[in-house]
Chain A
Amino acid sequence: MGNLQLKSIRKAYGTHEVLKGIDLDVKDGEFVIFVGPSGCGKSTLLRTIAGLEDITAGAIVIDGQDVSVTPPAKRGIAMVFQSYALYPHLTVRDNMGLGLKQAGSPKAVIEERVKAASGMLSLEPYLERRPAELSGGQRQRVAIGRAIVREPKLFLFDEPLSNLDAALRVQTRLEIAALHRRLKATMIYVTHDQVEAMTLADKIVVLNAGEIEQIGSPMELYNKPANLFVAGFIGSPQMNFIDAARLGLADAKTIGIRPEHMALSRSEGDWRGTITHVEHLGADTIVYLETEKAGLVTVRLFGEHDYMPEETVFVTPDRSRQHRFSADGKALAATV
């Protein structure tokens, strides 16, 4: 069990409001990811759920119980931190068992759960070591193990992969995904990395400046961004935004087209332009060009292409995949 309701959560430091009324429903077993730029309040929101920060107004309900003023240890949550936050003077075994020990669980239960968790994360050979004797990836696994041992209603992850190098990050990401399938536990995960968000989440919550911009599945956010912010935040390279007036369209303020939804040709197309830079990534080729009609645009082509800077080319956007936004940044209904 583990569902969570946030009811118009507000958090202010003095007069500065960091969270401006957050409403959210998380169902049992869901993997929910908070994304947003730095300073958007995503970590603060996670910390309020954990009980590490008091809320100024609103209510936090876990499994039907209002826990707004319950201390962290009594909320039935476990948290994994970016900096691992292992106890330096305790062995891996004691690090994982401390929470249960504090809660007064019998020794046999602790022993059994530590064994199960360390088996799941292949940490058995390291149980007697101290954190200083482990690599970064192992430390993060211990931190995850410490969370599993508590058998919480909610797992909270605060940018758990940010300190790991690229290869390890992908591997640990897969491990977390596998863990979620296996435990079927409710997980809430904060990241600024949209790839992590897109690959792990059942549901993504996009936050900006203390407010929720959009909630949806990864593909909903990709295909139907609710506003300019979400459209620009999800997807890499970023969506091209073109002033509708330049294209002679009167029914919208801004037109958005993702780089992968445009075709490039040397002979013919809608917009003529000059290539300013090309990035060859092997699987993709990213072409930056200055067009006469639409200004600076980015085009993502699949596979290898031999375009060169200074070349004159033609760009054709896929009209069926374009997004239209009104003057206040809201998405308008799809066009023809």
Chain B
Amino acid sequence: MANARISRTRLTFVHVALIIYTIIALFPVVLTIMNSFKTRNDIFRSPLTPPLPSTFSLTGYNTVLGQGDFIGYFQNSLIVTVASIFCVLLFGAMAAFALSEYRFRGNLLMGLYLALGIMIPIRLGTIGILQEMVALNLVNTLVSLVLVYTAQGLPLAVFILSEFMRTVSDDLKSAGRIDGLSEYAIFFRLVLPLVRPAMATVAVFTMIPIWNDLWFPLILAPGEKTKTVTLGAQTFIGQFVTDWNAVLSALSLAIFPVLVLYVLFSRQLIRGITAGAVK
């Protein structure tokens, strides 16, 4: 490709760097998926070779799908993740709109207070959270996880979204007010569509830690009915014997839903409907 602005050598370097990064990033994922299709002996004997006809085995998947309620775990993970993302986006965007749009006493302080959570890990409050959930009778429910993850995701969401909402043209909101739109209509119909790329960013940032989290499911919802995928995969890791086939298969399966969600959101990331709205 002839490009007047970027020289060929530079382009090559950029590509080499990106390819190396891609390999490093994909390596553990590929290793996990590859080995999940191999027999136990081959996983240990030659972990880096892809499954050959002689070493191919579905034992892991059979164990995973046979033992325990893995479909149920998936369902739990999905419900928790989707519900949390929904709450984080809705409440985060509302708070961000208020902070960026309205002048009120303590606006700055409120913004700082809401951003504080980015710096303080929510896990520090685990004991308090557990006591609270026990008191509310929410232990071993998915609601408890959704509540905790919403709290965990809100600070970053408010921070990112309020920055983005400041960039939405004031004139557009004024035009809406003159046309008689309510503040809710301005928020939902004018502002939200324009910050969709930022919402997608927040969704991705929120989603991955929630899906991968082991800590809170272990503490707040370890029951069989409320187990999430990451927690479910742990059942195959024992103190003396670990069923690696099953662990790797469970992890491979766990990648897919999150991949689908990611693709869904990243589509929004690319879409630029704001073009041409204001100058």
Contacts and interface: CB of A to CB of B under 8 A. Distances in A.
Interface stretch (B152-160, B171-179, B224-232, B256-264): B171-179
Interface stretch (A76-84, A275-283, A317-325): A76-84
A85 B174 contact: yes
B121 interface: no
Q: Which 3 A-B pairs have the closest CB atoms?
A: A132-B276, A88-B277, A73-B180
A73 B273 CA distance: 27
A16 interface: no
B274 A88 contact: yes
Contacts of A86: 172, 175, 277-278
B178 A50 contact: yes
A82 B194 CA distance: 19
Nearest to B272: A132
B181 interface: yes
Contact of B172 (A78, A87, A133, A139): A87
A72 B178 contact: yes
B180 A88 contact: no
Nearest to B172: A85
A83 B274 CA distance: 13
Given A88-B273, A89-B273, A132-B275, A73 B177 contact: yes
B267 interface: no
B171 A85 contact: yes
A88 B276 contact: yes
A128 to B, nearest CB: 15
Given A84-B278, A89-B273, A73 B179 contact: yes
Interface of A: 47, 50-52, 71-74, 77-79, 81-89, 98-99, 102-103, 130-134, 136, 139, 146, 158, 163
Contact of A84 (B176, B190, B279): B279
B276 A79 contact: no
A85 B179 contact: no
17 contacts: A50-B174, A50-B178, A52-B178, A71-B177, A72-B177, A79-B178, A82-B171, A85-B172, A87-B175, A87-B277, A88-B193, A89-B193, A98-B179, A98-B181, A102-B180, A130-B276, A163-B279
Contacts of A133: 276
Contacts of A84: 171, 278-279
B242 interface: no
Contacts of A102: 179-181
B169 interface: yes
B177 A52 contact: yes
A47 B279 CA distance: 20
The range of chain B's interface size is 20 to 34
Interface string B2-29: 0000000000000000000000000000
Contacts of B279: 83-84, 136, 163
A85 B175 contact: yes
Among A81, A88, A163, the one with the most B-chain Cβ atoms within 10 Å of its Cβ is A88
B179 A83 contact: no
A83 B167 CA distance: 13
Nearest to B275: A132
B6 to A, nearest CB: 29
Given A82-B171, A85-B171, A87-B190, A131 B180 contact: no
Among A73, A77, A130, the one with the most B-chain Cβ atoms within 10 Å of its Cβ is A73
A162 to B, nearest CB: 10
B199 to A, nearest CB: 15
A72 B177 CA distance: 6
B276 A134 contact: yes
A88 B277 CA distance: 5
A130 B277 CA distance: 9
Among B178, B180, B279, the one with the most A-chain Cβ atoms within 10 Å of its Cβ is B178
B3 to A, nearest CB: 28
A43 to B, nearest CB: 11
Contacts of B190: 87
Nearest to B185: A102
Contacts of B177: 51-52, 71-73
Contact of A78 (B176, B178, B274, B275): B178
A88 B174 contact: no
A52 B180 contact: no
B169 A83 contact: yes
Among B274, B275, B276, the one with the most A-chain Cβ atoms within 10 Å of its Cβ is B276
B61 to A, nearest CB: 45
Nearest to A82: B171
Contacts of B189: 87, 89
Nearest to A74: B180
A81 B277 CA distance: 12
B115 to A, nearest CB: 24
Contact of B178 (A73, A88, A89, A136): A73
A130 B278 CA distance: 12
Contact of A132 (B172, B181, B277): B277
Given A79-B175, A102-B180, 5 more contacts: A73-B178, A74-B180, A81-B171, A83-B279, A87-B190
B166 to A, nearest CB: 15
Nearest to B273: A88
Nearest to B179: A99
B27 to A, nearest CB: 42
A86 B178 CA distance: 12
A98 to B, nearest CB: 5
B277 A131 contact: yes
A71 B177 CA distance: 8
A72 B274 CA distance: 25
